[in-house]
């Protein structure tokens, strides 16, 4: 078995043959910009210190990185963590078997975050990017791996300002290829419905989802929709392995990764991960096979951590992570979790909306149908990033996908489809949060943007 196929087989085994619990579970990694009342990026470390010292938070673990408070874990297993940007906090909650439980825990956690920010004279925003402070190295949390990425990927500083709402939904081994592919194919709808980064650097942007536009320019096919759908885990592994291997750890707990030059030769430059496997295999003839396999595995996990496709499988959690949505206005903060769960729960029922000519047929027909439609969907993605819900075809795609998701959630019997109502309203009005925020910026300026996005539980 080739090294790459061996990695694919091991990755596939991380996913269970059947769902682990009676209901499909959902977890959330929600990032929030912290700003001053005038809109400048705030001091997150001061907010983290307030959280640590607040008896209501019930911190069970505080992790330090040098002098930084890196994360706070509560007794209820909620995590507050610092992000790439020094003005962003992430709140991690779940997994839960139902959206209502997720809502309750997340709202309690964010209320404590808002209180901590207020004590520092700061605001927590429900939007997808710092509205005033420009992305820069100065806004970036001081970590060696971020410095490496700045060297390798000019423009990576954009990540210092962005704030997304990432959702994990558990999947089975058999579901892996289809769910990953259809959720990536649905990226245009996710972005059109949930784009909320249309104001940044104190200006109205020329896109509704600057997060997607800017980071795709930096990352290329490492970000957003991948080059193609995949029909198997082997095919997914090959797709990921064609991307350049950026950094390597000398051991799993290494916090100072080095640039992964081929054969550690600077003159050879970066190379696809698959080339490193071949080079590693030839250079370690006398190495014990088990230790070489383990190093390949650790290298791959670190490699794919920096592949930011819209829907990416996660071996540690046995989930698919949906990444393209901006943080949302607080009144509608559950829409991303509901939409993500609905997409995964719908699975193959999304295909007729993604590929209008699709008719269920022989096993595997879905892959060919998606592959033939992929370039068109990538075009819709670009239109969604740029104009949100203004485009007729994008809006029609959103309506169909929302219908499928609502039906899938209704079948769970928990009333979770109600969380999708704000999205149906957005399609009806042909306006997403970014379009609303751009109008506020034109009419009222930055004060209007902060007022509109500030979270007031």
pLDDT band for position 286 (cuts 50, 70, 90): very low
Question: In this structure, are residues 198 and 434 in contact, taking their beta carbons and an 8 Å threshold?
Answer: yes
Task: Give every CB contact of residue 397 below 8 A, 6+ residues apart in sequence.
Answer: 188, 189, 192, 353, 354, 380
pLDDT tens across 299-331, in order?
A: 999 999 999 999 999 999 999 999 999 999 999
Assigned domain for 284 exists:
no
For β-strands 123-124 and 26-35, DSSP reports them as antiparallel
Assigned domain for 402 exists:
yes
The CA–CA distances, whole Å, from 141 to 73, 124, 149, 222 equal 20, 18, 13, 22
Q: Containing H/E element for 68?
A: strand 68-74
End-to-end CA distance of the chain: 55
CA-closest candidate to residue 342, choices 420, 432, 230, 433: 420
Give the CATH number, domain containing residue 176: 3.30.590.20
147, pLDDT greater than 70 = yes
- Looking at the chain, the whole-number percentage of residues with pLDDT higher than 70 is 96
Kindly state whether residues 294 and 147 are assigned to the same domain: no
Kindly state whether residues 64 and 199 are assigned to the same domain: yes
Radius of gyration of the chain from its Cα atoms, rounded to whole angstroms: 22
Q: Look up the domain containing 300 and give its range.
A: 244-279+290-305
Kindly state whether residues 294 and 192 are assigned to the same domain: no
Kindly state whether residues 108 and 156 are assigned to the same domain: yes
What pLDDT, on the 0 to 100 scale, is given for residue 208? 95
pLDDT tens across 179-238, in order?
A: 999 999 999 999 999 999 999 999 999 999 999 999 888 888 899 999 999 999 999 999
The more confidently predicted of residues 364 and 374 is 374
What pLDDT, on the 0 to 100 scale, is given for residue 366? 94
285, pLDDT greater than 70 = no
Kindly state whether residues 313 and 261 are assigned to the same domain: no
Assigned domain for 285 exists:
no
162, pLDDT greater than 50 = yes
What pLDDT, on the 0 to 100 scale, is given for residue 4? 93
CB atoms within 10 A of CB 358: 19
What pLDDT, on the 0 to 100 scale, is given for residue 361? 65
Assigned domain for 427 exists:
yes
Kindly state whether residues 11 and 114 are assigned to the same domain: yes
Kindly state whether residues 35 and 128 are assigned to the same domain: yes
Phi-psi region of 397 (alpha: psi -120 to 50; beta: other; left: phi over 0): alpha
116, pLDDT greater than 70 = yes
Question: In this structure, are residues 273 and 251 in contact, taking their beta carbons and an 8 Å threshold?
Answer: no
Tokens of 106: 């997340």
pLDDT tens across 211-228, in order?
A: 999 988 888 889 999 999
Please state, in angstroms and rounded to a whole number, the distance separating the CA atoms of residues 274 and 288.
20
What pLDDT, on the 0 to 100 scale, is given for residue 281? 45
pLDDT band for position 290 (cuts 50, 70, 90): low
119, pLDDT greater than 70 = yes
What pLDDT, on the 0 to 100 scale, is given for residue 33? 98
What pLDDT, on the 0 to 100 scale, is given for residue 250? 82
Assigned domain for 209 exists:
yes
CB atoms within 10 A of CB 286: 6
Taking all residues of the chain, what is their mean pLDDT, rounded to a whole number?
94
CB atoms within 10 A of CB 359: 9
What pLDDT, on the 0 to 100 scale, is given for residue 282? 44
Kindly state whether residues 123 and 267 are assigned to the same domain: no
**Tally of domains in the chain:** 2
Kindly state whether residues 128 and 251 are assigned to the same domain: no
What pLDDT, on the 0 to 100 scale, is given for residue 263? 80
Tokens of 315: 């071996």
Assigned domain for 208 exists:
yes
Kindly state whether residues 158 and 300 are assigned to the same domain: no
Task: Give every CB contact of residue 86 below 8 A, 6+ residues apart in sequence.
Answer: 41, 43, 44, 45, 139, 140, 141, 160
CA-closest candidate to residue 26, choices 320, 419, 329: 320
Assigned domain for 16 exists:
yes
Assigned domain for 388 exists:
yes
pLDDT band for position 364 (cuts 50, 70, 90): low
283, pLDDT greater than 50 = no
Please state, in angstroms and rounded to a whole number, the distance separating the CA atoms of residues 201 and 447.
14
Residue with tokens 């759908």: 229
Kindly state whether residues 87 and 100 are assigned to the same domain: yes
The more confidently predicted of residues 280 and 4 is 4
Q: In the chain, helix, strand, coil percent, each to 5?
A: 50, 15, 30
Q: Can you tell me the mean pLDDT for 124-144?
A: 96
What pLDDT, on the 0 to 100 scale, is given for residue 307? 96
DSSP state of 22: S
What pLDDT, on the 0 to 100 scale, is given for residue 362? 53
pLDDT band for position 84 (cuts 50, 70, 90): very high
pTM of the model as a whole: 0.95
Dihedral of CA atoms 166, 211, 387, 449 in degrees, nearest 10, equals 90
Kindly state whether residues 30 and 18 are assigned to the same domain: yes
Q: Containing H/E element for 45?
A: helix 44-53
């Amino acid at each position: 078995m080739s090294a790459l196929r061996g990695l694919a087989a091991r990755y596939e085994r991380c996913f269970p043959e059947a769902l682990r619990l009676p209901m499909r579970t959902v977890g959330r990694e929600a990032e929030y910009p912290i700003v001053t009342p005038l809109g400048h990026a705030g001091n997150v470390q001061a907010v983290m210190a307030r959280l640590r010292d607040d008896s209501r938070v019930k911190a069970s673990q505080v992790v330090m990185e040098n002098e930084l408070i890196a994360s706070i874990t509560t007794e209820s297993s909620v995590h507050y963590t610092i992000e790439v940007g020094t003005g962003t906090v992430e709140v991690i909650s779940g997994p839960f078997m139902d959206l209502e439980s997720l809502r309750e825990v997340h709202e309690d956690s964010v209320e404590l975050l808002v209180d901590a920010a207020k004590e520092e004279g700061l605001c927590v925003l429900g939007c997808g990017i710092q509205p005033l402070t420009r992305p820069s190295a100065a806004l970036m949390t001081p970590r060696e791996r971020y410095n490496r990425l700045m060297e390798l990927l000019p423009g990576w500083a954009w990540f210092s300002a962005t704030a997304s709402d990432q959702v994990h939904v558990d999947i089975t081994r058999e579901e892996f290829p289809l769910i990953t592919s259809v959720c990536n194919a649905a990226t245009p709808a996710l972005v059109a419905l949930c784009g909320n980064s249309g104001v940044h650097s104190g200006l109205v942007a020329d896109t509704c989802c600057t997060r997607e536009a800017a980071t795709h320019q930096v990352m290329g096919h490492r970000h957003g929709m991948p080059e193609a759908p995949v029909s198997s885990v082997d095919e997914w592994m090959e797709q990921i392995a064609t991307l350049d291997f950026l950094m390597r750890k000398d051991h799993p707990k290494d916090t100072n990764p080095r640039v992964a030059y081929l054969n550690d030769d600077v003159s050879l430059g970066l190379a696809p991960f698959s080339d490193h496997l071949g080079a590693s295999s030839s250079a370690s003839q006398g190495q014990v096979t088990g230790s070489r396999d383990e190093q390949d595995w650790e290298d791959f996990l670190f490699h794919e951590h920096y592949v930011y496709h819209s829907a990416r499988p996660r071996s540690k959690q046995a989930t698919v992570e949906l990444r393209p949505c901006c943080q949302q206005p607080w009144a509608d903060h559950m829409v991303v979790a509901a939409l993500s769960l609905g997409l995964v729960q719908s699975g193959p029922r999304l295909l007729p909306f993604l590929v209008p000519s699709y008719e269920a047929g022989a096993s595997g027909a879905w892959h060919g149908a998606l592959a033939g439609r992929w370039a068109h969907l990538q075009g819709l993605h670009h239109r969604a990033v740029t104009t949100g819900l203004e485009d007729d075809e994008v809006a029609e795609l959103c309506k169909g996908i929302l219908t499928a998701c609502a039906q899938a959630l209704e079948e769970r019997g928990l009333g979770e489809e109600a969380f999708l109502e704000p999205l149906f309203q957005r399609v009806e009005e042909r306006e997403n949060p970014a379009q609303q925020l751009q109008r506020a910026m034109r009419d009222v300026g930055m004060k209007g943007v902060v007022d509109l996005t500030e979270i007031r539980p």
